[in-house]
Amino acid sequence: MLQKLGKYIPVPEVYESGKDYIVMQKVPFSGPLSEEEFAKALAKMHAYKQPFFGYENDTTIGPFTQPNPQENSWPLFFGKHRVEYMARRCLEQNALQSKEFARIASFADDFNSYLPQTTPSILHGDLWGGNVMNDGTQTVLIDPASYFGSCEYDIAFSKLFHTFSSRFYDVYTYYQPLERDFFTNRVAIYNLYGLLVHLRAFGQMYKQPILSTLQKFGY
């Protein structure tokens, strides 16, 4: 994923990798050198359109598999292969009750009414502060959970853990416009996936925000 992402935006150089290890360039642990410059770089990366939603192979987010079958519909891909898929894994490990899973699945089935049909972009997929670093000369990204999806997903994920200031979003939207409805409604929808990942990985503290989003949209 790093090598693929590196065709579009700076990442650490990968020297060698195998089934259970990776050797790459050391990068100091710090945030972006400039939010403005990184916003422009991310918008440019998202501007390179891809042929389908999904990926050439399954990828991972943290320790979990992300299935990436090729689809032509973004609401279908995100609803079925991200939100419903991860909710089912949470149900299987008893992190969700069956009624809660049914509410999530019902919402995901209706994503056509909430998410726009768009063109695929390559995504980092796990865009929070710990994965945005600098090597002293430029901002680089680490630890991707990449696939081809809506550029809105990366921006929404960055808001889940308050990664950037408002200046970042002002600059990004100058180069890659986002509708107002994205910030008021769709951020919460996209972040269902990140919350489900965290519910599965870290426990019940992440359930209430999921249920609140369902309630907000009437599910």
Q: What is the CATH number of the domain that holds 139?
A: 3.90.1200.10
For residues 69 and 138, the model is more confident at 69
Asked if residue 143 has pLDDT above 80, the reply is yes
pLDDT confidence of 185, banded at 50, 70, 90?
very high
User: In percent, how much of the chain has pLDDT > 70?
Assistant: 100
Write out the residue range of the structural domain in which residue 169 sits: 2-216
User: What is the reported pTM?
Assistant: 0.95
Q: How many domains does the chain have?
A: 1
| Average pLDDT of span 107-123 | 97
CB atoms within 10 A of CB 189: 24
Asked if residue 23 has pLDDT above 80, the reply is yes
| Whole-number CA gyration radius for the chain | 17
User: 29: which 2 tokens?
Assistant: 């642990």
Asked if residue 106 has pLDDT above 80, the reply is yes
Count of all residues that appear for the chain in the document: 219
| β-strand pairing of 121-123 with 147-149 | antiparallel
pLDDT in tens, 56-86: 999 999 999 999 999 999 999 999 999 999 9
Asked if residue 171 has pLDDT above 90, the reply is yes
Whole-angstrom CA distances from 16 to 5, 23, 94 are 16, 5, 38
- Whether residue 144 contacts residue 1, with contact meaning beta carbons closer than 8 Å, is answered with yes
